[in-house]
Amino acid sequence: MQPETIFSIVNMIALVSWIVLAVGPRWIVTKKVLYSGAVPLLLAIAYAVLIAAFFATAEGGFGSLSGVMKLFTNEWAVLAGWIHYLAFDLLVGTWEVNDAQVRGISHWLVIPCLFFTFMFGPIGYLMYWTLRVLLREEVRRDQTIF
């Protein structure tokens, strides 16, 4: 399979997963497939296969910025790196939704965090943590009522 084909497939899987997280956080499919970690696991398998098959052929390494830049001139290494991002960002987004449900945080407030986690990873994670901190007292008060 060509790298471009794999890229398209993993992007579609990730995009559909993010949409499901955003619009159907309580759907049975969301609970069974996304909250189980199945999609990031599938992406992790694809990543592991690419690393095993192509990492040794790539020049560069992780010891310096120039080494990383050289490593990412290999299309297979770039694809593996992209899948790495997709898997971990989706894992973080799934955690955000699940954590918000446990804490009683409105999903409407989590959706912007999901968008930024999807697009810019750590920024969305930072946004969600900020949301948690800002709502901490309000969530605690709401939980004591019920």
Element (H, E) at 65: helix 65-71
Report pLDDT digits (tens) over 12-64.
Answer: 999 999 999 999 999 998 889 989 999 999 999 999 999 999 888 888 888 89
Closest to 21 in 3D by CA, of 145, 143, 124:
124
Q: Where are the domains of the chain?
A: 3-145
Give Dmax (Cα) for the chain. 60
Q: Output b/e per residue, 2-24; b: 16+ Cβ within 10 A.
A: ebeebeeebeebbeebbebbbee
What residues have CB less than 8 Å from 59, skipping those under 6 apart? 70, 71, 73, 74
pTM for this predicted structure: 0.85
Cβ proximity of 80 and 52 under 8 Å = no
pLDDT tens by residue, 53-109: 988 888 888 889 998 888 888 899 999 999 999 999 999 999 999 999 999 999 999
